Amino acid sequence: MLPEEPDAIEFSRRMKYVARAFNVLPLTEAVERLQQDDLPAAAASITFDDGYADNYRVAMPILKEHGLAATVFIASGFLNGGRMWNDTIIESVRRARGDTLNLDEFGTHSLRNFDDRRRAVNVLLTRLKYLPGDEREAAVLKIAVSAVDGPLPVDLMMSSTEVRGLAAGGIDIGAHTINHPILARVASAEARQEIVGGRDALEAILDKHVTLFAYPNGQPTRDFGDEHVDMVREAGFAAAVTTGYGVARSGTDLYRLPRFTPWDRSNFRFGVRLAQNALGML
Residue 110's H or E segment, with its range, is strand 108-110
Instruction: Give the whole-angstrom CA distance, residue 163 versus residue 198.
Output: 14
Q: Which pTM value belongs to this model?
A: 0.92
pLDDT of residue 97: 86
Q: What is the mean pLDDT of the chain?
A: 92
pLDDT reported for residue 229: 98
The separation between the first and the last C-alpha atoms of the chain, rounded to the nearest angstrom, is 25
Q: Per-residue pLDDT tens for 218-241?
A: 999 999 999 999 999 999 999 999
Asked whether residue 262 carries a pLDDT value surpassing 80, the answer given is no
Taking CA atoms, 94 is separated from 39, 121, 139, 152, in Å, by 44, 9, 17, 10
Percent of the chain with pLDDT over 90: 77
Taking only the tens place, the pLDDT of each residue in 138-154 is: 999 999 998 888 889 99
List Cβ neighbours of 116 (8 Å cut-off, separation of 6 or more): 109, 110
Could you tell me which residue, 189 or 107, shows the higher pLDDT?
189
pLDDT at 281: 54
User: pLDDT class for 280, splitting at 50, 70, 90?
Assistant: low
* pLDDT above 70: residue 33: yes
Q: What is the DSSP letter of 181?
A: -
Percent pLDDT > 70 in the chain is: 95
pLDDT at residue 1 above 70? no
CB neighbour list of residue 32: distance below 8 Å, 6 or more residues apart: none
**Would you place residue 276 in the very low, low, confident or very high pLDDT band (cuts 50, 70, 90)?**
confident
- Give yes or no for a contact between 68 and 24, defined as CB atoms under 8 angstroms apart: yes
